[in-house]
Structure 1
Amino acid sequence: MLRIVAGFEKVTDGEVWLGDKLVSSTSVFVPPEKRNIGMVFQSYAVWPHMDVFQNVAYPLRIRKVPKQEIEKRVLRALDIVHLSGLEHRMPSQLSGGQQQRVALARAIVAEPKMLLLDEPLSNLDAKLREAMRFEIKEIQRRLGITVIYVTHDQAEAMAMSDRIIVMNKGVIEQVAPPREIYDRPKSRFVADFVGLVNFLEADVLDKDGTIRIGDDLILKVNLPDGDHKRVIAAIRPEHIVMQHEGSGIGTVRGTVLRRYYLGDQIDYFVQTSGGEIRVTCNPLQGQFAEGDSVVLQIQHAFAFPL
């Protein structure tokens, strides 16, 4: 998809518009160099024989931009990506995160209308990857340009985007803001791909959306279109409150099978009459031991066709 938008591939069907300009169709093709698009690849593609300044200046030199203008724009781009003062360093003297910033600076120095990022953080360690997410988002806000960012990292997508497109084997499953993708997924694939989720088979008790999981868990959900006697209920682990006692609609008794302490949260796996349910709890809200009898209060659930 990115290669089509950038102009590296021709379309066999459909159209690509940048703003109000048609740049690609079966009869129209604007070459990549005339689309004014910046691209950052998964492998940084930073030239090892050029210093930071020369790497970033390269697109401007190709366009024969005057020398003084090149210097001004390169220094501004390096300031935006927090690399001021490193103009004369060679790539071999830079960390992975710094090399990624050089690639970003090179992509934005020509002031593109659009920036395409192909999993640019996948080669970085976890802490640096998280820091760079916010850096890139801040750069996008400062420049005010459209960014298409391809990632398989759900947290990255949720943290950075205004709108998420979830694709499954080339087919778009859902287009929506992050909150809607997470809270109201349109398909089982989307629910499973974005965040953790429990899938449990359920009987439909009435058309108003009352369903029963196992022997005793009654929930209210929005039913999928069509006449269904059974559905798949989807419940996120953090949408469950676990306690020692409780009753009523949305509650179910169970036994803690396993627990995993992760520092900021504890993951529990609880056996209920409807199947095993994963629950995520804050350690400050109380802790449970393996073998404990507990009550789960389901706060939110959605349903998909079986």
Structure 2
Amino acid sequence: MIKFTEERLLNLFKNFENVKVAVIGDLMLDRYIWGSVNRISPEAPVPVIEVEGEDSKLGGAGNVANNIKSLGAFPLLIGVVGDDREGEILFDLMKREGFNTGGIIVDRSRPTTVKTRVIAHNQHVVRIDRESREPINYSIQERIKEIVLQNIHQLNAIIIEDYNKGVIVRNLIHDLIDIANKYGVVITVDPKFDNFFEFKNVTVFKPNRKEVEDVLGRKIDTEEKVIEAGKILLERLKCEYLLLTRGEKGMTLFTKNGDVKHIPTKARKVADVSGAGDTVISTITVALASGADIIESASLANYAAGIVVEEVGVVPVDKEKLFKAALLDSKGEW
């Protein structure tokens, strides 16, 4: 693990404030129903949740934008919502958080994606999804490109956040990568299965272990298999860096020059892994755009993931906690 000096961290974190990142992807409304279980239903062998509270938050690409904002950088959120009450709630949440809503497109042909999580005694009981996975139409793809091009000279980075909900489609992927590379903008990707091998020539490609196993059709349950899989993906994707997240086993970073570096997890306790991937892609992107090298950026992303999994529910990383974790661990005190 890299050792940060306080001076280096102060310089990087100060640079975060000058970074603007476009987050393009599937926007969701995360709903939470909190309660307790004291009995089993007499109608069926299922727990009865006595509701104690409800909450709504920005989810999906919105959570990535929240992480960017919490790091002190500026997110430009670009996505699609439906012409429905849930879409209105998302707009209201964005305005309340101080986000620019100019990148949000209303598509009357689809519902707003909603994930409802029921939580009792700090444990997930069930998740209910309402969504359409139909690909967005050509005119909406063109509108997304227009928004990116209108802002490209102010952008330091672009994140493509794919949850297989229909916004990130093949032609749009290729166009966004071409735009980023043409203008010298960092471009990072959090992929899913459907478009996995469409993301060629990006700066950072960040799959998790299960996604890699699914696309390669093989288990990667040893260090040797991890390294073999990483080299295959580097060759096929032609990316500059591949960051493979491996849950409790940390992360493995591959570079196009052949270097491989394992980064052990820094999670001290795990309450909920929801949203950890969003935090990783946000942190590594902001750090790279702020002048950090890839090892520094991946290390900060690793600390950030370790912090958010200590909380129940999807939460953005706390900038002060991240600074403290990186500094104290560099001193051997965390």
TM (normalized to structure 2)? 0.28
Larger Rg: 1
Structure with more relative contact order (C-alpha pairs < 8 Å, separation 6 or more): 2
TM (normalized to structure 1)? 0.30
